[in-house]
Structure 1
Amino acid sequence: MPDAWRWDPTLFRGSAAYYERGRLPYATGFAEALAGALGLDGRGRLLDVGCGPGIVVLPTARYVAEAVGVDPDEDMLAEAEGRAGRLGVTNARWVAARAEDLPAGLGTFRAVVFAQSFHWTDRDQVAATVLRMLEPGGAFVHVSDLKEPAPEPAPSPGPPYDRIQDLVRRCLGPVRRAGQGVLVDGTPGGEAAIIERAGFAGPERLVVPAGEVVTRTSDDIVAWVFSRSDSAPHLFGDKLPEFERDLRTLLTTTAPDGGFAERLPATEIRIWRKPAEVAGG
């Protein structure tokens, strides 16, 4: 068995091309809600740490003078840059770096956003650095799907997620893979305490409702599997064609017409503020 997980550059290797298609979107209007909560007015700068293919930073860019996306995976940044071109976003730029490399000469920001990425970082170090990078009163923002309460079940058939995870475990072993290691203890919690220990006040909490039922195809569900760190394509090695064949067989057995129903979860936004009396760095 590999050693316990430590960050390495293979974490999402091969996943970038699948990410946008595979992941369910955040709630419609989340960017407008975030801009309203932060008082973004077209001025100032926003930083998205672990931006991936730009899922959060691109719709939010219209509310700031400049948006900066940081990610260590250059394939993710290439996807983000391509999406920016297609969407006509001209005030975003992309930096290949880890969160631990900050401040990386990037300057000062009104808001620094982590969309389900903070747990991959050295959280105490990164929170302290972000505090120094923010304007007085600036915001540390965490964006995620709302976990509780879970959305009402969608009409059947839904994607067979439990059986998909069983299939992944049969191929990769019983402990969750991540890059070259394993997440023995799973994803860490306690983020609020870490952020507050760094000197932030809060959090304010905003829930953007969703709940629409969307239809997903087998290709969408395959993309979801390969968009994840624990089932990224590189982890399967030469077993990848066999795994994908078995995955598609499972999906066809579950829904012969290739359609799966899912209900979009609400989006939870938590905001911590830098006290106005804390000096920048």
Structure 2
Amino acid sequence: MTNLFGGAAPYYAKYRPGHGAEAIDCLARAFGPASRVLDLGCGPGTVAIPLAAAVREVIAVDPDAGMLAEGGRVAAGTPNIRWLPGDSTTLAALPPFDDVVMGRSFHWMDRRAVLAELDRLLPPDGAVALIGPSRDPGEHPWEPVVRPVRAAFASDEQVAVNSFQATGEHHDDVLVDSPFDRLESSRFEQGLTWNLDAVLGLQLSYSYTTPGKLGDRVAEFTDAVRRVLVADNPSGVWEERAVTEVLIARRS
């Protein structure tokens, strides 16, 4: 896991869209202002940074040193975020926490084992929150032309299979079959406008086409993506509606 996003941190921070203020506010209400929140698999702080203003403290944990460094740089001067190395296998070694949030990181974990460990570590009223795309998200408008290019540059060894891909079980199905089986779902929609540089940067934030995995082929890859994008949409501007789901899970 430590090499999964090698070199991707600045692209992840700049080009992955945030979840929107409404979704972050939903998390904040669920946790409450006195909560010490664990952001497990925090990346460069996509959730941790905006959430920190509404809770007591965020413990931002990620196995990738580049992600932690990028988050610390962006959030310099934010006193109530602790950036710590770790992952879902080191939960017991972390400082105590009251609630936990996970974004896209959850699908890289052994989800059932993580929920069992969180059941042991969280207080009785502690919540497990997931934030990310809705259950059946649409694809980006450029995906039909970009996907074959990514596939051509990502070898079999570079394509990691996450737990959702491996099992086909959606997160909410896994939660219902866990101690955190009382679910509350909220959805929030936001409009996004992408230009050519943003779409290109987004590709370098993906686990299978990070700069670390592409190596000396980064320029070749981005040139190939640029060509198919411009051929498909000469305007270089894409519009889409993105839906973020906030799933709050508590024990019955």
What TM-score does the superposition give when structure 1 sets the normalisation length? 0.80
Provide the aligned C-alpha RMSD in A. Answer: 2.5
For 1:105 and 1:150, the matched residues in 2 are separated by: 36
Q: One-letter code of the match for 2:18?
A: P
1:172 aligns with 2:165: no
2:122 aligned partner: 134
Q: One-letter code of the match for 2:133?
A: D
Q: One-letter code of the match for 2:82?
A: R
2:215 aligned partner: 237
Cα distance 1:92–1:215, how it changes in 2: closer, same or farther (>3 A)? Answer: same
1:34 aligns with 2:27: yes
Q: Say which of 125, 135, 142 aligns to 1:160.
A: 142
Unaligned runs of 5+ in 2: none
For 1:236 and 1:150, the matched residues in 2 are separated by: 27
2:228 aligned partner: 250
User: What displacement does 1:141 show?
Assistant: 0.7
1:271 aligns with 2:240: no
Give the secondary-structure state (helix, strand or coil) at the position aligned to 1:215: strand
User: Is contact 2:60–2:83 with CA below 8 Å preserved after alignment?
Assistant: yes
Cα distance 1:255–1:194, how it changes in 2: closer, same or farther (>3 A)? Answer: closer
User: Is contact 2:184–2:247 with CA below 8 Å preserved after alignment?
Assistant: yes
Q: Say which of 52, 59, 70 aligns to 2:61.
A: 70
For 1:149 and 1:184, the matched residues in 2 are separated by: 17
Q: Which protein shows a greater Rg? A: 1
Cα distance 1:146–1:15, how it changes in 2: closer, same or farther (>3 A)? Answer: same
User: What displacement does 1:250 show?
Assistant: 2.1
1:99 aligned partner: 88
Give the secondary-structure state (helix, strand or coil) at the position aligned to 1:162: helix
- Superposed CA offset, 1:199-223 (max 9, x none): 2231111112x242x3222110111
Unaligned runs of 5+ in 1: 1-7, 152-157, 276-281
1:155 aligned partner: none
Cα distance 1:206–1:184, how it changes in 2: closer, same or farther (>3 A)? Answer: closer
Cα distance 1:28–1:121, how it changes in 2: closer, same or farther (>3 A)? Answer: same
Give the secondary-structure state (helix, strand or coil) at the position aligned to 1:29: helix
Q: Say which of 120, 132, 135 aligns to 2:108.
A: 120
User: Is contact 2:107–2:163 with CA below 8 Å preserved after alignment?
Assistant: no
For 1:169 and 1:237, the matched residues in 2 are separated by: 16
Give the secondary-structure state (helix, strand or coil) at the position aligned to 1:237: helix
User: What displacement does 1:258 show?
Assistant: 3.0
User: Is contact 1:46–1:110 with CA below 8 Å preserved after alignment?
Assistant: yes
Q: One-letter code of the match for 2:185?
A: R
- The answer to which structure has the higher helix fraction is 2
For 1:147 and 1:194, the matched residues in 2 are separated by: 13
Give the secondary-structure state (helix, strand or coil) at the position aligned to 1:267: strand
Cα distance 1:62–1:149, how it changes in 2: closer, same or farther (>3 A)? Answer: same
2:187 aligned partner: 207
For 1:240 and 1:46, the matched residues in 2 are separated by: 36
Cα distance 1:63–1:182, how it changes in 2: closer, same or farther (>3 A)? Answer: closer
Q: One-letter code of the match for 1:195?
A: L
For 1:231 and 1:34, the matched residues in 2 are separated by: 31
1:51 aligned partner: 42
Q: One-letter code of the match for 1:100?
A: T
Q: Say which of 162, 165, 171 aligns to 1:186.
A: 165
Cα distance 1:164–1:184, how it changes in 2: closer, same or farther (>3 A)? Answer: farther
User: What displacement does 1:25 show?
Assistant: 2.3
1:21 aligned partner: 14
User: Is contact 1:51–1:70 with CA below 8 Å preserved after alignment?
Assistant: yes
For 1:30 and 1:165, the matched residues in 2 are separated by: 29
